[in-house]
Chain A
Amino acid sequence: MAGTVKLEKLGKPGVFINCTTFDDDAKSASADNGIPTLRRVKISSQEFYKLRGKVETVRPLVESVFDDIINALTKPLTPEEANPSQDMVEQEDQVEVSVTAESYPAAAEEFNRIFLENRWGDGLPLVPPTPERVKWMLSGTKRSPDEALGKINPKQGAATIEKIAINAVMAGAKPEYLPVIIAVIEALTDENFDDLHILASAGSFNLLTVVSGPIAEEIGMESGIGFMGHGWRPNNTIGRAIRLSTLNIGQTWPGKNDMALTGRISPHTFFTFCENADFSPWEPYHASRGFKADESCVTVGSVHGESQLNHFYGGMIGTWTAEGVLDRMVEDLVRTDRRGYFMWGTKGVGKYLGSGGGAMNHMIILFPELVVELEKMGFDQKGLQDEIYKRTAIPYDDLTPAERKSIQTAIELGVIPADRKAVFAEALKPGGKVPVLISPENLHFFVAGGAPGCAFSFNYYRIPPYNRTALMTKRITGATLTKAGSA
């Protein structure tokens, strides 16, 4: 939709074709982008997805909408189309909502009913965000409630500290968690972060949030057995606060403008956990991103939905060695990332070269015992990145002609960045070995879990469809109730 609006704003009349499932989304997006009466022609989702594979099969569908498309291009605008109402984007004028009932339980039930009907909740019972409770929540940060961090897609709602606190109350969080939640929202609203794809795409993408540094222990996050599961108030309510903040501040709703077709696994909390600093011999993850090891940070990353969690075993699942787990990681990375070679030689699906396909970022969770063994083998994070990068490279002679051509095109187009061109140019010769990753830095290691543990990974596009990055680390600041994160 935004592309159609861009062309219209450049003075050209046109029409947007959208599938019926996405019609509410298209209508909403046309208003969000400033041309609410933009002309659209709907095509049946049921028919398009089934028939689009061949010209002969899609023909009846095209014939059925042909006249509609021509009319959209040529019939003069109606007075209503030519003079769109300035009220066509919903605004939230209410600062406060009041609920009155015979008793507290009745009032709490009524509050939940109203909030869910308004699409201000996530389907689970909420904690009422009374002014007193929000003030209590704000005691966890020294930052001003009016401070605006940025905007959240798709509706570009303003993320203020107060709005985040309101959603944190609703999630059942405590004030000492608020600086962590704020840091996550800082990442999502960063001008370079693509929050639109993860919040709105049909692909049911998910959000990974990893807390590292001393604040995790101070606020009682669990990093051992069950670290990604239920039961831990900080892990779960931080994740829920992020979910509610994006839902409410960005104003999304399933099937309306959050088009995740299956919904997300762990939908109420995303994937939220912390590194296990006690048992890891390595520096925390954020130290590899240029932060000081004794600082506290959050790392926020979009990840593929349910199809892309890769399991490398370890722990109790079978007898394991570090070398064996490493072999499985290498084998899996080669298998999944080689499939993407064909997209390297295209500009991609977004503004930045190589976006939305081709090379990936991998977020790999290693259990502490494994890291101890890797350390004995001589690997720190950087060493392991380099080792896996080397081992996953495919011999030039094993590549198909199409793969070689795609990589060559990627070099020429600039999809492979300038600082990596020489590596690939050198590899793309008989006897060479061609990496499946652009850089060793596309491997990100987080240490979490108990004993026994498991190693597994998520992945996502190195460059997302709608912005520069979907993986970012932010320092936690402004904390008043913990020593960590207070600076």
Chain B
Amino acid sequence: MSENKVELKLLNPRGVIEAQPMSAPNPRIADLVGKRIGLYWNSKPGMDNFYKVFEELLKEKYPTATTTLLRGAFLIRDDDAETWLPQIDTFVYGVGD
């Protein structure tokens, strides 16, 4: 067997990512009775139909819950978020594709 091994030292081509502090999601609301549920539609096709069915099912299960549908950019704009958030207690955001 050959005594002469070849060693290649190679530099890492990957970019260093600055570590940022990780946060937890917000505490959940206990239930949806009488709550205001925001439905955010990021404009991807078909999500409006998805939400129509979701709203029907939601109102069957939680008759006193209300919904607010907002259609906006892929990434919700700052002004939309500021206006919308005070109107809701929780939200659904879709769709990731």
- Residues on A lying within 8 angstroms of B by beta carbon are 1-4, 6-19, 21-22, 25-26, 31, 34-40, 43, 45, 48-49, 51-55, 57-59, 61-63, 66, 69-70, 73-77, 81-86, 88-92, 94-104, 106-108, 111, 115, 120, 128-131, 134, 151-152, 155-160, 162-163, 166-167, 170, 202, 244, 248-251, 347-351, 355-356, 465-466
Contacts and interface: CB of A to CB of B under 8 A. Distances in A.
Contact of A101 (B6, B14, B24, B53): B6
Given A3-B74, A17-B92, A8 B26 contact: yes
B43 interface: yes
Interface of B: 1-2, 5-32, 37-38, 40, 42-43, 45-47, 49-50, 52-54, 57-58, 61, 72-78, 81, 85, 88-97
B74 A350 contact: yes
Given A7-B85, A97-B10, A52 B16 contact: no
Contacts of A61: 50
A26 B13 contact: no
B22 A92 contact: no
Given A35-B22, A38-B25, A99 B74 contact: no
28 contacts: A3-B75, A8-B25, A11-B26, A13-B29, A13-B90, A14-B38, A43-B95, A48-B50, A52-B49, A73-B92, A84-B22, A84-B23, A84-B24, A86-B19, A92-B15, A95-B11, A96-B12, A97-B11, A115-B10, A128-B8, A134-B11, A152-B15, A157-B15, A163-B15, A249-B13, A347-B72, A356-B73, A466-B74
A128 B6 CA distance: 13
Contacts of A74: 28-32
Contacts of B6: 100-104, 106-107
B92 A130 contact: no
Given A10-B81, A111-B8, A350-B73, A18 B97 contact: yes
A294 B30 CA distance: 67
Interface residues of chain A: helix, strand, loop or mixed (majority): mixed
Given A12-B38, A37-B25, A52-B50, 9 more contacts: A8-B23, A25-B96, A35-B24, A48-B97, A70-B58, A81-B25, A86-B19, A120-B13, A349-B73
Given A7-B76, A36-B22, A101-B5, A13 B28 contact: yes
A26 B12 CA distance: 26
Interface centre among B2, B76, B88 (most CB of A within 10 A): B76
Contacts of A166: 11-13
Contacts of B7: 98-100, 107
A15 B94 CA distance: 9
Given A6-B76, A163-B15, A86 B91 contact: no
Contact of B24 (A83, A100, A134): A83
Nearest to A88: B22
A70 B96 contact: no
Contacts of A131: 9, 11
B29 A58 contact: no
B26 A73 contact: no
Q: Which of B42, B72, B95 has the most CB of A within 10 A?
A: B95
Contact of A58 (B10, B20, B46): B46
A267 to B, nearest CB: 18
B25 A96 contact: no
Contacts of B8: 98-101, 107-108, 111, 128, 130
Most buried by A among B5, B54, B88: B54
Contact of B93 (A15, A48, A350): A15
A22 B41 CA distance: 17
A248 B49 contact: no
A129 B11 contact: yes
B14 A17 contact: no
A188 to B, nearest CB: 12
